[in-house]
Structure 1
Amino acid sequence: MKIYFFRAVIWIFLFGAIQLTAQDMAYPVEGDGVLSFLRRWNRVGDSYVQEFMEMNADRINDQGGLELGTVYLIPSLHPEDEYSLPEAMVTEGTNPIIFGKKLSDITPQSNRLKNACFYIISGHGGPDPGAIARMGNRQLHEDEYAYDITLRLTRNLMMDGATVYVIIQDPNDGIRDEMYLNNSNNETCMGDPIPRDQLERLKQRVDKVNRLYERDKKKYDYIRAIDIHVDSRNKGKRIDVFFYHSNDKQSKLLATTMRDFFRMKYDTHQPGRGFGGFVEQRNLYILRQLEPPSILVETGNIQNEFDRKRILSVNNRQALANWMAQAFFEDYKKSVKK
């Protein structure tokens, strides 16, 4: 059971620590000043501070500090300094801090997915909150709820022995049980700042997955990617969970398997209601460009009062994750020949 976790501005790749260059950038985290920000990158000393201030003169606030949500250039490492990652920040295995302290310990339930690998993408993030719904003075951001479902799904898959890569990450938000999730723009794409340009955002996460897939495709019997979203439509439009797939047989099989499993669960828990979720091929950039078989899931209409209950309720968010994890296993059984 493995998870490869790339926290905040820590970049950990399969080939070890990567040397930064003058063009590398990162977001500060809550409480960061210039010194603590630089210290995280092993840039210690007055010369680094001076270089940093010169490089980021247009980004420093009036008080000489850093602003959350602003990306900062990082000075090149001096030749005499050695860059190393703090061991406590490198997590691989059964104690992932990505889920938060309360849920960081994982008790394996099975090894039925030990030969499976997943790339889980949480929709939007960083400068892009995705769909926004308003309830009184509150703003509900799509990316926060998609991320919470993503973490729950990740944890479920890990408990079944799978290797999981979380592509979009927040250094502060683990799995949260609140109804109203706080909004932030701290998310990164495996440590890299998320671009503001939409196409660049999509390309960034696609490139991350495809790079991992190129190495992983020879190691695992089953590899899939999933992109999790919350839809935004007219307030009166109530929708069930639906699944988009690419022009790929395995992608279509996964989407259909998920739809059928959700339909079965709806019939069990809400008999007589019916399930209106559907499967559809879409020529979306992320599905078109991802190399592993992939699907995009829309979990409800954030503008609709009834659909919102599906994402506001922690029990419902967990149920979505549980059902997707089980549907993955059903697809695994269909796809992997014994």
Structure 2
Amino acid sequence: MPSLENRQFIELEKPIKELVDELKDFRQRAEKNSKVDYTVTIDQLEKSIVEKREDITKELTSWQKVQLSRHPDRPYTLKYIDKMCTNFVEIFGDRGVKDDKAMVGGFAQLEGETVMLIGQQKGINTKMRQLRNFGMANPEGYRKALRLMKLAEKFNKPVITLIDTPGAYPGLEAEERGQGEAIARNIYEMMRLKVPVICVVIGEGASGGALGIGVGDKVLMLENTWYTVISPESCSSILWRSWEKKEIAAEQLKLTPDHMHKFGLVDGIVPEPAGGAHWDYDLAAQLLKKELVPLLQELKAIDPETRIKNRIERYSKMGFWDEI
């Protein structure tokens, strides 16, 4: 993870940045002047930074959670795989068009259990963001994901998907190659997979881009993430013809983990380190791993036909409406 000196800060974290700048200043003074002991001051500032991280994330608005989910230092799919698993073997290509860099996946070992891990991957810098298409997969990305799921099914290995996308790529070429069909096919096939499937929203969970790898026996959300049909900015631009109402849109969309759990759309909320997952990659991965391991054992104990039946019933019952 980035060192304290190299961290990026969003508007929400301005009070933390002020403390970090002060800490940098005292560390530089300590290096230049060994005659003065700054140890107590430095220790107090480090403690204050941790306390401020906790304070800031105690009561977040929906829009603030959206901002945290997009934090430039936040860990992405490959980082979680690296920190949670061993012996990861990435598999490439959809056997049809090309290898979509926005979608990654492969076999790995999670606590000695071989699993198939699949997820959207964003870039850590400008060059990588362009290579990964900002985590927005093309049809071949979803077809690659489906190929990997079918491979896992063939060898009777559980599937874990990590969702982090602002949406499926909306370009003309994606539509020409069947973006809608690819996502619909994934939803259909994931319903019928004979192996356990766990889906986790680790960042942004937007629209069909998330649903394309989002159908499972259990669905979890990390504490500072969101999951809904449209981004707050796009919702604001449609309803108010402006992005200025994005904070209101975020509240009205009920997109936070608390809302999703209350509606019965997700099964659990995974806690994050104080201040968000971007502050401690190791701890963030361990907290997620702690949830995944027992869930896998629980799902493995259920026979495949029952799992499929439960999965279909689960999604059939989602939503509520009134007839008038």
In the superposition, the TM-score normalised over structure 1's length comes to 0.31
In the superposition, the TM-score normalised over structure 2's length comes to 0.32
Q: Please identify which structure carries the higher helix content.
A: 2
